Amino acid sequence: MSEQPKQEQTQQASDSNKETLHALSEQAVLDHHDDKKHKLRAKRPPRKGLTRSKINSMLAVCAIVISAASFYATYLQAKASQEQVAAAKRQLKAETLPWLKMGYSNFDINQEKQYININISNSGTGPAMVHYIEYIYNDENHFHIEELLDTCCSLNAYKEALAEIEQDQRDINYRNAFGWFASSDTTNFLLADGEEFNVFMMQKTNFNSGLWQQIDQSIFDVKVNACYCSILKHCYIVDEKSNIEEVQSCDLPEQEETQELTE
């Protein structure tokens, strides 16, 4: 009876040890698997997906690119607008451009007579405001045609001679018999496009042939500068050879201004 309980106890202890070994074995297996999983996780490379930081960076770059493109488009639009405005101004300037030319002739084809005609004509596309005509002879400046012709050719002496004839012989048309001249003031007058303005005219007669020839010869030694402006306030100077130069304004030279104040 005493041996049987001992055997049972021994059997129970053996079973308990087996269970413990089995449990330890299972735990070891689990630990081994866990350690293996941990190593696999440690060796696994990080995923290459988009992170929030990368997405934010990409959005920032896109915003910069869009802003730059918008700025460039605005710049191109502004530049195109400026070019259109400049082109419109050039077209308007061309449509209103006066083109003046100084002219001289010593023969009237229609009348078939020797006839001095000093003139200025406008062959442009717009009217011109002629502010002054400057005549330079022997380094002296004149702004009136009669002053010039008196300096070069003693025009005043001819005028006085005609006046005396008129006083002595009132029944004679001295203008036709002896020859007269006509002159015009050439300061601040409007010259329309396609028109011609006569500055000085003189028909040759037996009485004035000496003066007439002297004027006809001396006129080629005179330099001329006519200053005029368009209706858009673009100003130019044309010389006796029809060379045109654009200038800022048509202010009278100081010499002429001083002379006018003195008078």
Distance CA 12, CA 110 (A): 158
Token pair recorded at residue 218: 């001396």
Residue 3 has pLDDT above 90, yes or no: no
Of the listed ranges 77-86, 182-191, 252-261, the least confidently predicted one is 252-261
Give 125-162 pLDDT, tens digit per residue. 999 999 999 999 999 999 999 999 999 999 999 988 88
> What confidence score (pLDDT) does residue 189 get?
96
> What confidence score (pLDDT) does residue 214 get?
96
58 to each of 49, 53, 54, 64, 65, how far by Cα in Å? 14, 9, 6, 10, 11
In this prediction, residue 256 has a pLDDT band, given cuts at 50, 70 and 90, of low
Mean of all residue pLDDT scores within the chain: 82
107 to each of 48, 101, 202, 238, how far by Cα in Å? 100, 18, 10, 24
Helix (H) or strand (E) holding 14: helix 3-43
More confidently predicted of 189 and 44: 189
CB 135 within 8 A of CB 151: no
Q: Is 89 left (phi over 0), alpha (psi -120 to 50) or beta?
A: alpha
From 254, 250, 243, select the one nearest 228 (Cα to Cα).
250
> What confidence score (pLDDT) does residue 94 get?
85
| pTM passes above 0.85 | no
Token pair recorded at residue 174: 């001295």
Distance CA 59, CA 253 (A): 68
Give 190-243 pLDDT, tens digit per residue. 999 999 999 999 999 988 999 999 999 999 999 999 999 999 999 999 999 999
> What confidence score (pLDDT) does residue 178 get?
76
From 206, 62, 190, select the one nearest 128 (Cα to Cα).
190
For residues 109-130, average pLDDT: 94
Token pair recorded at residue 49: 């997906």
Which amino acid belongs to residue 135? Answer: Y
In this prediction, residue 262 has a pLDDT band, given cuts at 50, 70 and 90, of very low
Residue 78 has pLDDT above 80, yes or no: yes
